[in-house]
Structure 1
Amino acid sequence: MLSKSYLEFLINMNIPHSICLKDFDPGEKHGPERVALIVANILEKSDKCKATDIYIEPWVDKLQVCFRVDGVILPATELPRELGPNIIARLKFLANLLSYRQDIPQEGRIAQVDSLEGIEVRVSTFPTIHGERVALRLFRRENRQFILEELGLEPGVLKNLKDAIGERTGAILFTGPGGSGKTTSIYSCLSHIAKTEKTRRHIVTLEDPVEQILEGVSQTQVSPSTGFDFSLGLRSLLRQDPEVILVGEMRDPETARVAIEAALSGHLLFSTLHAGSSCGVISRLLEMGLEPYLLTSSLRLILNQRLLRKICSKCKSKGCADCNNTGYKGRLLLLEAMALNAEMRSTILQRADRATLESVFVNSGGITLVSHAIAAVKAGQTTREEVLRVLGSADCSAVFENKQGD
């Protein structure tokens, strides 16, 4: 028989009572219809929760479904384990993946969910010892306005960013883990250029995927599986006479080199790079084989960012219906901005290690993410626990202990 939690899930999802009360039957008569309804309603429920990701993972005795909301993974429901292969097969069908291959990772996308207007889903499957798990990333193509002044940046950081994007050449790089708001920040920069400058600039992007449509911006989605990757796209794009370029990610040394050289040859370049800090971006580019002089000549601003959950304004972190009893509602942007001054450029030319770069950054007045986080806690915007969850470093714990000692 079906578990109580499974029946409650089906009923809450408004799946027809005649279907949800039947034992699961993998045969042709009921299996496909029921599975299609379950998949559709999981997607609908995730949208109502404003989830950014869905995780469906098989275990020994159950199929676990979780949503990521405000950066935190929350359990959504548990389904019978035997439903797993059918649910994943349905998702593979929608994403045009090979349903008969369960032994290899696959990636695809669902361009449009029938019951959800304006949502695209990126699908990633991965084999485990208990069967395939699937991760779904939801992209909402809503008519959203990206306004630089509404990011919540501190006045000094906002001024540095506006000064940098007002230039005609150079590179502005963002770093941070997935889901830290990098795309929103970059889209806000591009929209600012497109809408506020009197003299129009030719703005083009290479993205994987295109998450939102921007007015006044020519956007392109790369397709690495067909050979149209960032490196090839950027080389071809430079022949289109662009003035402002977004390269979604510097994934390899070749893309990084072409991008940095573009920033030196009359283009304003935006891109992202995986690194732990602003100074870590410098170290990462040097590790990719770029010469120090290329970095000191091209880099205008490096921004390292994270998103923290904000304390619920109604219950003040106690938990209420408005915040789903989490104590948090909404998120706060932390942003560490590093502009390259003369001392930092000199340090880079010496190929200094990350620790030395960070020391120069702080000694020259740079404000780290940890410092921004401590200020947010003192202002009552978030909690110490949330800061430790997101930043999660020994340095962060040590700083909090020192502050308590003071």
Structure 2
Amino acid sequence: MSPAKRFGDMLVEEGLISLSKLDEALKIQRSTGKRLGEVMQDMEILVQDQILDILSKQLDVPKIDLFEEPVDREIASTIDPELIQRHKAIPVRIENDEMIVAMVDPLNLMAIDDIRLATGYEVRTRICSEQALDRIYQDLFGVSHEAKKHLEDWKKIQMKEGNTLRDALKSASSLSEIEDAPIVRFVEAILEGAVDQKASDIHLEPKEDKMLVRYRVDGLLHKVMDVPRSAMAAVIARLKILAGLDTSERRRPQDGRIDLKVRSRAFDIRFSTLPTLYGEKVVMRLLDKSKIQFTLEQLGFEEDELVVWRELLEHPHGIIYLTGPTGSGKSTTLIASLATVARDTINVVTVEDPIEYQLPTINQVQVNRKVDFSFTQALRTIVRQDPDVIMVGETRDDETAELAMNAALTGHLVFSTLHTNDAAGGFIRLHNMGIERFLITASVLAMVAQRLVRVLCRNCKTPYEPSDPEMDILKPYLPLIEGRSPQKIKLYKARGCEMCHNLGYSGRLAIFEILPMSQTVREMFMSDAPIQSLKRQARKEGMNTLFESGLRKVFKGITSLEELFRVSSASEDIDSMTDGVGAEGFKRVKPLLEELPEELVSGII
């Protein structure tokens, strides 16, 4: 029997990679210790399906798609979940008195023997991806399964003894007994499940007959499970204990923090309650302390946008505003920018509410309303602390705005945020606060609007040719992809696979609209020019709108047109198009938008 061909050689034979790329991947593998297939995924040479196809041929083991061939819950439950996790192997079904088992490593003889002993069946293996197996495991035995088990345990104890959570905690004889309480373990399962699914927020929402648990993943909420209303008070009480809050106060909102450690990863959880019709609603924001190091390149800047942004950061004084709604990534961009400018020879000070990311290279100040320590009071003190760079978490009123601008005029580089729809709207927002135009034009370096778009899963994104209505909308923007004719335009849409939890997207990137304060923009703003005139001038000077910035990612296959329409709009560009061919092309855009499917453009026009 001839020895099996090596994985890398088979990839070259199949024409999937070149020898030079294989050599490059092998060098990375030797230095990192990762599997070769994993390295090639990181390099974006191959996707998971291609790797599994080659492994299936190499090992002579059939491939299985765990989403196409659903796992029988009853069959999977015949072995201990711990065994599934340890061996990365899960029973799928019984076929001809044999157990079909999906395995990441189908040559693991110890795993095969353990499953045979545990079930009494002969085992037939199928190769699957680790991501798919982990996803199925979460669905079958993860947060919902584990949490429900703890809830059942709690209900049995409650029915037997009539105890509340407070009673159980008081009667516990040791810390380990408290930690083993079913409600405590249920709360842990909810928190750990959010970490496993890479959720940014957890929502606990009281309803008339239950409590709904939802996770926010990549900007969108997804239902996790329903909790019986009888357990709601105990769950919220446990969370309040962790956050150091008053468990008896249910009529007023409360805010707190929870420190969480999950598998050696530390998380800072911002905890907030809100009294509603059916009880207290809880929202928790998860911040991974191990992932606070961001670079500007990782945020989503296009090359030309990054050049402009870096030039702004090099200014010795002036103020830069980031604008956008809550959750648009402003804090992340600010922290990455501060990390870029911070060095041993300068003093960087921030005032925040709350402090989301802790950086050792800067001095961070927390607003505290309980002692009447506001943004304004903090800023007054900071300017006496010999700062070089100042970051004000949010400009909420005219007093804070004037103090920040005066700091910018007296030799400091200042960053802050505003809530406006686009960059030009930031100037109008400041003026509406009561700030004089001359102060705005003298101090502001730039207004930068941003949004977050979900990134298409690179393993399952599906190419397609734009429809005629889509093509008519895209035509005015074709200069963004110079060198391609309209006939060669290819877009991508979400499909869903095991790697992206069947969502079609994985991760998010920012899109930007950078409006520097040029001499012409300054003069126009001083003369009370309309906002669309400001945008028109900025476009003449090279500014890309949010929609244009997003389209560049659409044309590159990074995100979908549907996702871009979710966060931005072509119709917002119509009035700011410059004279000429672009403007003529855009006369048709608004009615064409109306021809697109409703789910694609809902809320745009």
RCO greater where, 1 or 2, for CA within 8 Å and sep 6 or more?
A: 1
Match of 1:333 in 2: 510
- Could you report, residue by residue, the CA deviation over 1:119-143 in whole angstroms, capped at 9, with x for unpaired residues? 1111111111111111111122115
Match of 2:533 in 1: 356
Match of 2:260 in 1: 113
- Could you report, residue by residue, the CA deviation over 1:79-119 in whole angstroms, capped at 9, with x for unpaired residues? 11222222222222222333222222222222x12557421
CA–CA distance in structure 2, aligned partners of residues 276 and 305 of structure 1: 9
CA–CA distance in structure 1, aligned partners of residues 331 and 256 of structure 2: 20
The one-letter code matched in structure 1 to 2:558 is Q
CA–CA distance in structure 2, aligned partners of residues 370 and 400 of structure 1: 18
Match of 1:135 in 2: 283
- The Cα shift of 1:396 comes to 7.4
Contact 1:66 1:76 in 2 (8 A): yes
- The Cα shift of 1:402 comes to 6.7
Q: If the length of structure 2 is used for normalisation, what is the TM-score? A: 0.61
CA–CA distance in structure 1, aligned partners of residues 537 and 248 of structure 2: 55
Cα 1:125–1:327 change in 2 (3 A) is same
SS in structure 2 of the partner of residue 60 of structure 1: coil
Contact 1:260 1:295 in 2 (8 A): yes
- The Cα shift of 1:78 comes to 0.9
Cα 1:17–1:359 change in 2 (3 A) is closer
Matches within 5 A, 1:86-105: 86-105=234-253
Verify: 1:166 aligned to 2:314, yes or no.
yes
- The Cα shift of 1:377 comes to 2.0
- Could you report, residue by residue, the CA deviation over 1:21-70 in whole angstroms, capped at 9, with x for unpaired residues? 73755624786633222222211111111111111001122210001111
Match of 1:43 in 2: 191
- The Cα shift of 1:9 comes to 5.0
Match of 2:41 in 1: none
Match of 2:427 in 1: 282
- Could you report, residue by residue, the CA deviation over 1:179-227 in whole angstroms, capped at 9, with x for unpaired residues? 22212211111111125xxx72111111222222324211222212221
CA–CA distance in structure 2, aligned partners of residues 126 and 314 of structure 1: 40
Greater mean deviation of Cα atoms: 230-239 or 28-37: 28-37
**Among 156, 166, 178, the residue aligned to 1:22:** 156
Identity of aligned pairs, percent?
36
Match of 1:378 in 2: 555
SS in structure 2 of the partner of residue 42 of structure 1: helix
Match of 1:303 in 2: 448
CA–CA distance in structure 1, aligned partners of residues 452 and 216 of structure 2: 14
**Among 306, 323, 335, the residue aligned to 2:500:** 323
Q: If the length of structure 1 is used for normalisation, what is the TM-score? A: 0.89
- Could you report, residue by residue, the CA deviation over 1:300-340 in whole angstroms, capped at 9, with x for unpaired residues? 12211111111111111221110010111122220111101
Greater mean deviation of Cα atoms: 265-274 or 390-399: 390-399
CA–CA distance in structure 1, aligned partners of residues 562 and 140 of structure 2: 33
CA–CA distance in structure 1, aligned partners of residues 359 and 398 of structure 2: 28
Q: Aligned pair count?
A: 397
Q: Which runs of 5+ in 2 are unaligned?
A: 1-138, 170-180, 462-493, 575-588, 597-605
Matches within 5 A, 1:202-351: 202-316=347-461, 317-351=494-528
SS in structure 2 of the partner of residue 256 of structure 1: helix
Greater mean deviation of Cα atoms: 306-315 or 115-124: 115-124
RMSD, aligned CA: 2.8
- The Cα shift of 1:18 comes to 7.9
Contact 2:367 2:374 in 1 (8 A): yes
- The Cα shift of 1:403 comes to 12
SS in structure 2 of the partner of residue 216 of structure 1: coil
- The Cα shift of 1:288 comes to 0.8
Verify: 1:58 aligned to 2:206, yes or no.
yes
Match of 1:34 in 2: 182
Q: Which runs of 5+ in 1 are unaligned?
A: none
CA–CA distance in structure 1, aligned partners of residues 416 and 311 of structure 2: 17
CA–CA distance in structure 1, aligned partners of residues 196 and 591 of structure 2: 36
Match of 2:134 in 1: none
Contact 1:283 1:353 in 2 (8 A): no
Matches within 5 A, 1:173-188: 173-188=321-336
Larger radius of gyration: 2
SS in structure 1 of the partner of residue 255 of structure 2: strand
- The Cα shift of 1:277 comes to 0.8
SS in structure 2 of the partner of residue 118 of structure 1: strand
SS in structure 2 of the partner of residue 102 of structure 1: coil
Greater mean deviation of Cα atoms: 95-104 or 261-270: 95-104
Contact 1:24 1:31 in 2 (8 A): no
CA–CA distance in structure 2, aligned partners of residues 345 and 76 of structure 1: 50
Contact 1:311 1:329 in 2 (8 A): yes
The one-letter code matched in structure 2 to 1:113 is L
CA–CA distance in structure 1, aligned partners of residues 392 and 426 of structure 2: 15
Cα 1:306–1:31 change in 2 (3 A) is farther
